[in-house]
């Protein structure tokens, strides 16, 4: 059980960050804004998507959506319709170790509220 005072095993890992991002050029020299979690109507992503659109000329910023859910297609469609190259999607990470590395690769994490 995860809760206050418990160690859930997912934490920042500088070496893991470097290893996770080393295999892909999409991360290089980018400030990574990440939303990681369930993509659903309960977690509205419209403001984040509009931010990506507003910053589309900034080739040093990458918006990374990690996870899945019923609204993932909205993210992909938004990026495709607007021709946004600053949005990428990754699937859920199956292993806790991989999740820690993925989360460590972001410079800014986004939390959405309703």
Give the SS3 label for residue 34: strand
Cα(80)–Cα(98) distance, integer angstroms: 27
Q: Tell which wins on pLDDT, 78 or 94.
A: 78
Compute and round to an integer the Cα radius of gyration of the chain.
14
**108-109 and 31-38 beta bridge pairing:** parallel
Is 14-109 CATH 3.40.50.2000?
A: yes
Lowest mean pLDDT among 1-5, 22-26, 98-102: 1-5
As a whole number of angstroms, the distance between CA 89 and CA 67 comes to: 8
Annotated domain spans of the chain:
14-109
Whole-prediction pTM: 0.83
């Amino acid at each position: 059980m995860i809760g206050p005072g418990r160690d859930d095993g997912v934490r920042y890992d500088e070496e893991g960050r470097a290893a996770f991002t080393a295999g892909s050029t999409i991360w290089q020299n980018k400030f990574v804004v990440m939303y990681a979690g369930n993509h659903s109507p309960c977690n509205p992503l419209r403001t984040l998507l509009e931010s990506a659109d507003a910053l589309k000329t900034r080739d040093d910023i990458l918006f990374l959506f990690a996870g899945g859910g019923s609204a993932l297609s909205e993210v992909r469609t938004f990026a495709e319709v607007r021709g946004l190259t600053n949005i990428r999607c990754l699937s859920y990470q199956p292993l806790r170790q991989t999740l820690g590395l993925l989360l460590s690769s972001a410079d800014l994490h986004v939390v959405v509220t309703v």
